[in-house]
Amino acid sequence: MKTPARRSKWVDRELDSMDTTPVALRAREKKNCFKTRAVLARPEYPLTRTTAEMKLMPPEFFQIDALVLAPRLLGKYLRRDNVVLRITEVEAYRSNDSACHGRFGVTPRTAPVFGPGGHAYVYLCYGLHMMLNIVADKEGVGAAVLIRSCSPVTGLETIQERRGQKTDKPVLLNGPGKVGQALGLSTEWSHHPFYSPGGLELLDGGEDVEKIVVGPRVGIDYALPQHVNALWRFAIADTPWISAPKNTLKPL
C-alpha cells in the first residue's frame, strides 16, 4: 500500500497565511515529493500501464483542502468513454476565496460545489464554455479545483471532432473550455462522482509529478487583491500543454 503523499511545507505556509492574515502569497518551496517525465505531443505521455489497468482515485483523495488537492491532480487522468486526458494545469478555489463561486452561497448554480469532495461541478462560462471543476474538501465547505488544461492520451479523433479542430497541437486542449468540450460535458454532469466506475472518472496512472510551476490565477480581477495575487495556479513544468499566460508561471 502506497504511503500517502506528504503535504509540502509550501502548502502549509499558504494555508497558514490565508487562514490568519490576508496577504499576497509567495511560493518558496525548493523541493517536493513528486516524480515526472517529459511531455510529448505524439504520444503525449509514455504510459506505464494501459488505461484499463489504471485505478480510480478513492473518495478520500478528494476530501482535502482545495489548495492541497490542486497540485496532486497534476498527472492524473480524466476518462470518459474512449477519451483519456492527462491533467496538466489546474487552479484552486477555496471556501474563503473571493474568486470562488462559493462566495455566493448555495444557489441552483453553485449547489454542486458545496457537495462532498470527489464530485464534478460543471458550469457554463460566457454562455459558451463548459468549465470542469473537481469539488474538494468536505460536504458544505464550497471549494473546488478548476481543470485548466490537459493533454490527449487516447481518443484523439473523438477529441478533434468534439472540438471541431483537426490538430494534435496544444491549442487543442490548452484552456478550461476546451477541456470541457473535448470531454463532451454539459452542466448535467455536475454532482457526478469521479470515483465511481463509468461516466466521468479520475484515474491514477501510477506516475506522480516532480516539477511544478505556480502562478496567480487567470481572469479573476474582480476578486480581492490577496486572492488575485495568490499563487494558486499549478501546472506541470516543461510541458507545452498549458494555457496562457505562461510568463506568470514560476518554478515551485
* pLDDT digits 0-9 by tens, 46-60: 555 677 789 999 999
Contact 44, 250 (CB under 8 A): no
Segment among 18-27, 60-69, 182-191 with least mean pLDDT? 18-27
Quick check: bond before 46 cis, omega within 30? no
The mean pLDDT of 117-133, rounded to a whole number, is 93
Whether residue 11 is predicted with pLDDT greater than 90 in this model: the reply is: no
**C-alpha of 172 from chain center:** 17
**DSSP code, position 167:** -
186-240 pLDDT, tens digit per residue, is: 999 999 999 999 999 999 988 889 899 999 999 999 999 999 999 999 999 999 9
Instruction: Return the minimum-mean-pLDDT range out of 65-74, 97-106, 113-122.
Output: 97-106
Beta bridge partners of residue 122, listed in sequence order? 132
Comparing CA positions, the residue from 214, 237, 15, 21 lying closest to residue 7 is 15
Identify the bridge partners of residue 201 per DSSP, sorted by sequence position. 79
Cα 49 to Cα 40: distance, rounded to the nearest angstrom: 17
Q: Structurally, what CATH architecture does the domain formed by 57-210 represent?
A: Roll (3.10)
The confidence score (pLDDT) of residue 39 equals 35
pLDDT at 115 over 70: yes
Is residue 68 over pLDDT 90? yes
Beta strands per DSSP E along the chain: 55-56, 77-80, 83-93, 120-125, 129-136, 143-154, 200-204, 212-215, 233-236, 250-251
Best CA proximity match to 112, nearest among 185, 16, 12: 185
Domain extent listing, the chain: 57-210
Q: The pTM is what?
A: 0.83
Long-range contacts of 166-173 (CB under 8 A, 24+ apart): 168/41, 168/42, 169/41, 170/41, 170/240, 170/241, 170/242, 173/85, 173/149, 173/241
CA–CA dist 16, 4 (Å, integer): 21
Mean of all residue pLDDT scores within the chain: 85
